[in-house]
Amino acid sequence: MVAIQLGASRVVTGTKIPNPCGDVNLPPENDRELRREIVKCALEALQTNLSGARTFVPKVSFTSG
């Protein structure tokens, strides 16, 4: 939300503010998988042609809060 308002064109939604690319509550192997998905999503975003700002949502689930 904030990134779009500040004018970023390709935004990948992360998890939480203190650790946007991971989830410390997950076991290490699941955390690694989660981080991998987010980075993959970011790489896909870079390869996408845009006509305006867009938010890319990685296919991940994480502990809420």
Partner 1 sequence: MRLELATYPVKQVQWSSQTCYRDGLLEIDKAELLATVLEDKKIIFADLDLALPGEETRIVNVRDVVEARIKVSGPGCVFPGILGPVETVGDGRTHRLSGMAVVVSATYRPTILSGTAAQNSSLIDMWGPLGKATPFGSTLNVVLVIKLLDGVTELEAHAAIQLAEFKVARRLAETTRELATGETEVFATSEVDPSLPRVVYIDSFLTNWHAPHSLVAYYGLPIRESLPTYIHPNEYLDGALTKDTRIGSGEYTYTWEWMNKGIILRLLREHGKRLNFLGVILQRTRFEAEHGKQVTAACAAQMAKLLKAEGVIVTRTVMSGANLVDVMLTVQACEKRGLKTVFLSPEWGGRDGTEPPFVFTVPEADAMVSTGSTDREYRLPAPKKLIGVKPGELIQLYAGDQWISPSDELTMDDTCLAGTTDWWGAGKYTRVQY
Tell me how long the chain is: 65
- What whole-number distance in Å separates Cα of residue 50 and Cα of residue 65? 32
Considering only 11, 16, 30, 53, the residue that binds partner 1 (CB under 8 A) is: 16
CB atoms within 10 A of CB 12: 21
Q: Which is nearer to partner 1, 1 or 50 (CB)?
A: 1
Q: Decide if residue 1 touches partner 1 (CB under 8 A).
A: yes
Alpha-carbon span 48 to 56, nearest angstrom: 10
Which of 15, 38, 41, 58 forms a contact with partner 1 (CB under 8 A)? 15
Binding segment for partner 1 (CB under 8 A), chosen from 15-23, 26-34, 37-45, 46-54, is: 15-23
